[in-house]
Amino acid sequence: MKTNLLFNKKTVFSFEVFPPKKNSPLETIYSTLRELGYFKPDFISVTYGAGGSLNGQTTIDIAHSLKHTYGIESVAHLPGINFDKAEMQKILHDLKCAGVDNVLALRGDISPNVQPKDDFRFASELVTFIKENGDFNVIGACYPEGHLEAATLKQDLLHLKEKVNAGTDQLISQLFFDNDYFYAFLDKARDIGINVPIEAGIMPVTNKNQIERMVSMCGVNLPKKFKQMMAKYEHHPEAFRDAGIAYAIDQIVDLVSQDVDGIHLYTMNNSYIARRISEAVSTLLAVPKSE
């Protein structure tokens, strides 16, 4: 099933997982999937490789298992910068053979360990190629506070419009910790004619090192109350974890109350955290969206 068809009078709730790192047992991810399946997410997306790995077959295998073993719709991430057109065509063929109908088209992060290729310099080029070479629902990424490489948020929105015009069917946002940034982004996106569903990406922060990495990689802003939470609990790991979960739940409650299209939870393969959050918001997600 194409996941863009799920956005019909309901708030979509989905997860992201990543394949195990090299030399880690593969069974760990399948154990996680079994546990996540209990919460009946609308779909689960699977990142491409782990730690810069290009072992995409693992991603395809996980996406196949999600759909055919666990009965959960799957989305496979595709980082265009690492592949030429012939390689990408084979990946699309393998995904279709695996019964995967949904892909997340990304330019991809430049890795010092992998020589980038030139066929897909922009995500919009990858979207066009996918639409020309397979019957896939194409998902794109968006950045409520702007992409780190964009000169301005306006420029970033124009690039996003190019992705949508190329055939992107729905969007998932990068994580953010201040919902006002997301609401302002939504207004600007709708104003320039971006009308596809946009899920809000939420990452529960459960340790101090995690937030430092996220700020460095994504450039997100930290609200005052978030910084106060970090300062109070940074030397108390369990309290920090629980405060981070509570903060994410608070974000989701507000977003769902505002009838956003959906919530995409970056689980970091942690089923305990996913369970805490899913149980807290399940009754909210069951309420139909306002007309």
Res 17 pLDDT > 90: yes
- pLDDT of res. 52: 44
Res 53 pLDDT > 60: no
Res. 51 pLDDT band, cuts 50 70 90: very low
The answer for residues whose C-beta is within 8 angstroms of residue 229's C-beta and 6 or more apart is 243, 244, 247
pLDDT digits (tens, 9 = 90+) for 153-190: 999 999 999 999 999 999 999 999 999 999 999 999 99
Q: Which helix (H) or strand (E) holds 273?
A: helix 271-285
- pLDDT of res. 91: 95
Res. 204 pLDDT band, cuts 50 70 90: very high
Tokens 């998932």: give the residue.
172
Which residue type, as a one-letter code, is found at position 30? Answer: Y
Q: What are phi and psi of 205, to 5 degrees?
A: -95, 120
Q: State the average pLDDT for the chain.
A: 93
Nearest CA to 18 among 36, 6, 2?
A: 36
Res. 55 pLDDT band, cuts 50 70 90: low
Whole-angstrom distance, CA of residue 159 vs CA of residue 141: 11
- pLDDT of res. 134: 92
- pLDDT of res. 112: 67
CA distances from 53 to 20, 113, 160, 221, 233 (A): 10, 9, 27, 29, 34
Res 202 pLDDT > 50: yes
DSSP secondary-structure letter at 122?
S
pLDDT digits (tens, 9 = 90+) for 253-276: 999 999 999 999 999 999 999 999
Nearest CA to 175 among 120, 139, 232, 213?
A: 213
pLDDT, average across residues 66-83: 95
47 and 19 in contact (C-beta within 8 Å)?
yes
- pLDDT of res. 108: 84
Catalytically active residues, by annotation: 16
Res 132 pLDDT > 90: yes
Q: What are phi and psi of 77, to 5 degrees?
A: -75, 140
The answer for residues whose C-beta is within 8 angstroms of residue 236's C-beta and 6 or more apart is none
All domains of the chain, ordered by start, with CATH?
3-285 (3.20.20.220)
Torsion sign (Cα): 251, 252, 256, 257: negative
Whole-angstrom distance, CA of residue 121 vs CA of residue 94: 23
- pLDDT of res. 57: 87
Q: Which of 37-41, 127-131, 214-218, 230-234 has the lowest mean pLDDT?
A: 214-218
- pTM of the shown model: 0.95
116 and 91 in contact (C-beta within 8 Å)?
no
Angle at 149 between CA 181 and CA 210, to 5 degrees: 65
Res 135 pLDDT > 60: yes
Res. 49 pLDDT band, cuts 50 70 90: low
